[in-house]
Structure 1
Amino acid sequence: MVRAGLTTERLVRAGAELADEVGFEQVTVSALARRFDVRVASLYSHLRNSQDLKTRIALLALEELADRAADALAGRAAKDALTAFANVYRDYAREHPGRYAAARHPMDAQTAAASAGGRHALMTRAILRGYDLPEPSETHAVRLLGSVFHGYVSLETAGGFSHSAPDSQESWTRILDALDALLRNWPAP
């Protein structure tokens, strides 16, 4: 018998909260069952296993990030759009470290194609339209932006910049200025 009140959506949201509290790698069906004070078997009518739970948390995180980014980009172009988009990722990682880690969780091709990941790529390309980059330069720029945003945020949230001056916010601002300058002056092949 399924415990009243347990739904897949509720379990995934609780799993996402758990990821933010203890880290994405620590999320398991067993840990989730303890959170609800139920037997692990009670959750198997909603989730196949811990991998399924993690994939669902990743899908939730990608959707949340895409929704935030879309809202932040509305009516913006070029550097304003670039900055808004970058800040969404940074802010989300600070607010939801476990979910941010989940957003990078590997998925099979079919699941990835159906996820909000495609929205992220489309929004990045929309930002780059303000810089008039031709293909394949646009693809290179998408990869550059993803690498810089993720790399900086990962190092910052791990405390990598907390022991030296200047403040990490100052560096973040300068990096976004540098990215804008680079995109406006993209090197020819």
Structure 2
Amino acid sequence: MARAGLTAERVTIAGAELADEVGLDQVTMSQVARRLGVKDASLYTHVRSLEDLRGRIALLAADEKTIRIAETTAGRAGKDALIAFANAWREYAHQHPGRYMATQTPIQIDPELAAKAPGPRRAVELTYGMLRGYGLAEPDLTDAVRLLRSTFHGFVALEAAGGFAHERSPQHSWVRALDALHTLLEHWPPSREGDSS
């Protein structure tokens, strides 16, 4: 019988908190059970496996990050929206490193559970919507989305790993990178002939 008060949501939050403390790849079902004060077997009434738990953490994080980005970019356009979007992304990665990593790692997610989670879909809508403010259309929109995701994720991943050893503050480089992205997005190079797929 399931322990009273124990739910899939509580297990997911406990796993997410642990991921932020020790890293997503260090989370085990035993650690989550200890955190909740239950036996390991109790967790399997609510989540099927460690992979299922990681998928749930990814969906939770996607929802949280998307809500933060949506709130900070509301009513903004152009460079103002880009900066707000990027800063919300980076701040979430700093504050919740384990959860953030779950959103960037290929994880098997229950399709039924994923279909009910608005975060990933809303994240795509927000990103494409922000970039349409620069007058981009397909296939340039998808290329620009990939550029932004690569830049934001690459920067925060290097920052988290201590990869910026130069004396110049990473914050200064971040600001300049966003200036450069804005300039590029305003002057996006035209697609080449036959470059539609």
Give the TM-score range, shorter chain. Answer: over 0.9
Show the counterpart of 1:130: 133
Q: CA deviation at 1:117?
A: 1.3
| Structure-2 residue corresponding to 1:74 | 74
TM-score, normalisation: structure 2: 0.91
**Residue among 174, 177, 180 paired with 1:175:** 177
Return structure 1 stretches of 4+ with deviation > 4 angstroms.
111-114
TM-score (norm 1): 0.94
- In the comparison of the two structures, how many residue pairs are matched? 188
Q: Any stretches of 5+ residues in structure 1 without a counterpart? A: none
> How far apart are the structure 2 equivalents of 1:106 and 1:152?
19
Question: Percent identity of the aligned residues?
Answer: 56
CA 112–186 in structure 1, closer or farther in 2 if over 3 Å, else same: farther
- Indicate conservation of the 8 Å contact 2:2/2:42, yes or no: yes
> What CA deviation, in whole Å up to 9, does each residue of 1:80-132 have, x standing for no partner?
10011111110011101001101123245836555421211111111111110
Aligned residue type for 1:183: L
User: Structure 2: any 5+ residue segments left out of the alignment?
Assistant: 192-197
Q: Give the distance between the partners of 1:19 and 1:174, measured in 2 at CA.
A: 31
- Alpha-carbon distance in structure 1 between the residues aligned to 2:145 and 2:115: 17
Whole-angstrom distance in 1 between the partners of 2:190 and 2:94 = 36
The aligned counterpart of 1:165 is 167
Match of 2:104, SS state, is coil
Q: What RMSD over aligned residues (CA atoms) do the two structures have, in Å? A: 1.4
> For residues 116 and 2 of structure 2, what CA distance do their matches in structure 1 show?
28
Contact 1:33 1:39 in 2 (8 A): yes
CA contact 1:28–1:53 (8 Å) conserved in 2: no
Matches within 5 A, 1:50-89: 50-89=50-89
The 3-state SS of whatever aligns with 1:2 is: coil
Q: Distance in 2 between matches of 1:53 and 1:112?
A: 13
* The 10-residue stretch of structure 1 (108-117 or 12-21) with the greater mean CA deviation from structure 2: 108-117
Match of 1:145 in 2: 148
**1:121 counterpart = 2:124:** yes
